Amino acid sequence: MSNISYLVINTVTNFIQLYLILIFVRILLSWFQTAEWAGNVISFLAPITDPYLNIFRSFIPPLGGIDFSAILAIFVLQLIPQLLISIVGVI
């Protein structure tokens, strides 16, 4: 694997890990919406995380008030680095 492909994969992987942390924080804080500080953080994170999560919400609607689409969204994000490594490893 060349240095450039390693750099790209490493950068994408680091970005995805950071984005996963933001999604986890967003999900956890949605349980504490009544706290004022949580609402402030959610209002900051929502424009960052909701566009990606809304893709999966269109496929999996909330069931009983619980949003299961985030599970699929996290799973897909975790697959991307593995797919990149397998694609670049073949080339």
Indicate the domain borders of the chain: 3-90
Residue 88: the pLDDT is: 78
**Contacts of 90 by beta carbon, 8 Å cutoff, 6+ apart:** none
Greatest mean pLDDT range, 4-13, 27-36, 59-68: 4-13
Q: Which residue is listed with tokens 């984005």? A: 19
Q: Report residue 51's pLDDT band, with 50, 70 and 90 as the boundaries.
A: very high
Residue 84: the pLDDT is: 84
Does position 91 have pLDDT exceeding 60, yes or no? no
